[in-house]
Structure 1
């Protein structure tokens, strides 16, 4: 007999809601597919409340919005492992942001057990429990789901409460619990959708383009984002990064010109070619709408400043009892230094948020102020690179 319950009817789902609202905590996981779509497609929702594992079939029950009270801040404490994708999948079924989540992967990182440690490895490492991985790449939208798939899915929440309890005790013993809760709350605050008009600045070669070429790239990437969402297809199925760059540098004037664009989907050229030509022509025509170019990347010697900041953070990481990689993430360091170069040290400190602010702000301000001449030099280089285009 299976050790889980499978819910395939809306009335059974609604009847189970009070039980889950009383759970403390409630283990949650999702199985989803995002291969040829823009949006993830939920294939199975797993819930564990200490009384057993419940598998909810969203293919049989397309409307699971009755679960919204579980997902908000007023719902039970929810435990997940590596929750970022789960949050994205579950947010459409919530009345607002999914809140009240504790992530065991974050706990493991803070305790020095490994960054981005997978669930199976975490169970083996912490609880000495081995679970199979054999169904991890299944098609979770196909029906019927096999017994192997359902057992695999149930295991994803069966041991999560026990793992969480061990990690909670260790975090409290190291006086890291308050920081852990604050970090989980930050992770739950999903970044708002990017402004489609600013997406072009994220292209890896945008800094090589003139203002006019930047306007073309801006228009193309805004078109791609809008169409990918409307058609529910991956961005790359429409225009890949290399195609975007080549079209920005040398915009096709005629349908035949698309044949010279690398990695371009022929179907896009046939279906959307005329619209893209018109779009690119309009972007090039009005100089008043051309955006400011993206500055050149920081010089290679900037890596030395990254290292200097990291070394300055090391004593703090040791005092807090957490790995330096958790305290001072590379992506955050990049944002801080770029703001210090392009604007000011004060603006660089504004990149910080949450629990890190009182800990790392004084260190960053001290290190950057001692390197102000270097920051000024890099700023001049970046401004010159923009004016030259």
Structure 2
């Protein structure tokens, strides 16, 4: 078991990887105490049962990950991950680089009929016919030295991945669905997926209140919290949680005395930079002009949903998902169906491969061009 701790050793392995058709990659990281993930370990394996497999220690003194990033830029070698989003966020944030071409086995498995957001352990059991020891999963990967159990666990995340990749790759070729996977992976390879703008942070705060003034204060509080968390690299919940944010937007404190009456605000947030930031955010929200108020997307409850059509769309989705061997939730969400039934057409289920599998017939059903009939326990589409 080789652990790479020098730039030269990493460069040598990456040059070897460039001669291969693919390389499997995984990471271990910590994020509980920081805003940005702290990369603690990188695992890689080359093709073949006996192909080289290594652990890279990014915390080793003097080690540069530039050879790894150079490998990521090398188009001749496929970079294979499982559930790559968090891994890619780390590499994009730290180096502004994406591994291309990318193959995400979780996405491929969903397209191949293994269910929604299938876990790595499930694929190892079903495809590699192996069992995984997950006892080291939630250990502190930043502590050194790593234990033997940690090293074995980490390496297994890329060695079994070789078998899974080769199996899923062949299945996609048989089904002709490579383009489906590439369409989903394009989202993972977009910088917009990982850029968090403080001015947009309010959109993640769940509230049933649609008052423009209230939402303006929520926007300014969320903006301050996000910027403060990013600048200091601490979790946003360490500043104040969503329930406290909503309380502040409701009580609208304008002084430290009023701020001190909050029931939900952490003690550390009642003084210093955070308190000043909160008061400034509330003031900005109170002074916001009505034309600048946040606009809330139309909720399902406000949509004029044709409930009968929505029910038929659910039946159609079930039939189409079974026919395609793809999880229904991957094709369309319940919200998608309600929006279609309300006459909306800016819906993900009506674009790309989803349109091919479901969207085309969904629109025909909405226009009354087709009907559904049951035959022998199966639902069939018939021309109306």
Which TM-score applies when normalising by structure 1? 0.82
Count of aligned pairs between the two proteins: 360
Distance 1:302 1:261 in 2: 40
Distance 1:288 1:88 in 2: 36
**1:124-177: CA deviations, max 9, x gaps?**
222221121121111111111112211111111111111222223333334434
Gap regions ≥5 residues in structure 1: 371-389
Are 2:344 and 1:320 aligned?
A: no
My pick for the range that moved more, 257-266 or 150-159, is 257-266
Q: Which residue of 1 aligns with 2:43?
A: 46
* Structure with greater proportional helix content: 1
My pick for the range that moved more, 219-228 or 86-95, is 86-95
Are 2:199 and 1:197 aligned?
A: yes
RMSD: 2.8
Q: Aligned pair in 2 of structure 1 residues 46, 295: CA closer, same or farther (>3 Å)?
A: closer
Q: Which residue of 2 aligns with 1:277?
A: 279
Q: Which residue of 1 aligns with 2:27?
A: 30
Q: Aligned pair in 2 of structure 1 residues 66, 357: CA closer, same or farther (>3 Å)?
A: same
**1:95-129: CA deviations, max 9, x gaps?**
53333221222232223323222222321222221
Distance 1:308 1:321 in 2: 20
- Which runs of structure 2 are paired with 1:61-140 in the superposition (5 Å)? 61=62, 63-72=64-73, 74-140=75-141
**How far off is 1:316 after superposition?**
3.3
Match of residue 9, structure 2, among 9, 12, 19: 12
Distance 2:78 2:297 in 1: 44
**How far off is 1:52 after superposition?**
1.6
Gap regions ≥5 residues in structure 2: 369-384
- Which runs of structure 2 are paired with 1:1-389 in the superposition (5 Å)? 4-50=1-47, 51-60=51-60, 61=62, 63-72=64-73, 74-189=75-190, 191=193, 193-205=195-207, 207-271=208-272, 272-288=274-290, 290-294=292-296, 297-299=299-301, 304=307, 307-328=311-332, 330=333, 334=335, 337=338, 345-346=344-345, 348-349=346-347, 353-368=351-366
Q: Aligned pair in 2 of structure 1 residues 127, 367: CA closer, same or farther (>3 Å)?
A: same
Aligned-partner SS, 2:86 = helix
Distance 2:187 2:293 in 1: 32
My pick for the range that moved more, 121-130 or 274-283, is 274-283
Q: Aligned pair in 2 of structure 1 residues 192, 108: CA closer, same or farther (>3 Å)?
A: closer
Q: Which residue of 2 aligns with 1:378?
A: none
**1:322-369: CA deviations, max 9, x gaps?**
2323322x2xx536755986xx634x1578554334444433434555
